[in-house]
Amino acid sequence: MADILLVAFVLASVAILLRRGHERRVSRRRVLEQARGQAHELPAMLPLPDAAELPGADPSRPIHVRSPAVIEGRAERWPCPVCEGDMRSQGQQVETLGGRRLRVVQLRCVRCGFARPAYFSLEQPASGQGEAPN
């Protein structure tokens, strides 16, 4: 009789543990699905800051750097203006705009997917304006 009760207890315990594991997997999957769904909705829901507020967002006000080697590190330094997530470089190119050669880094937020360009100049700023913080 005690053996039957022990077997029943073990089977009930295993069933409870399996159900909890399934609930955790379902819950984790729901959270991920909601996060993915919200990631696409975030830029539309939140007001975007003016380009004048974003470092290097305007080709007329690039971020001045001394070496192209520091461009991606500087570009990824500022958080996403929408969700404050991390921005990652998707590549860079050289463009001539207004007679000036600028490096343009395409940035994308890893959290919400917001994308924006960041403009850099290898020229030295005349009055120290537009420099990125060290």
pLDDT tens over the chain, length 134 residues: 778 877 777 777 766 655 655 455 555 556 555 555 554 444 455 566 665 678 888 888 898 998 888 998 888 888 888 888 899 999 989 998 888 889 999 999 998 888 999 999 986 655 555 555 44
Rounded distance between C-alpha atoms, residue 66 and residue 103, angstroms: 12
| pTM for this model (two decimals) | 0.56
Rounded distance between C-alpha atoms, residue 6 and residue 119, angstroms: 71
Query: What contacts 24+ positions apart, CB below 8 Å, involve 43-46?
Result: 43/82, 43/112, 43/113, 43/114, 46/82, 46/83
Q: Which helix (H) or strand (E) holds 78?
A: none
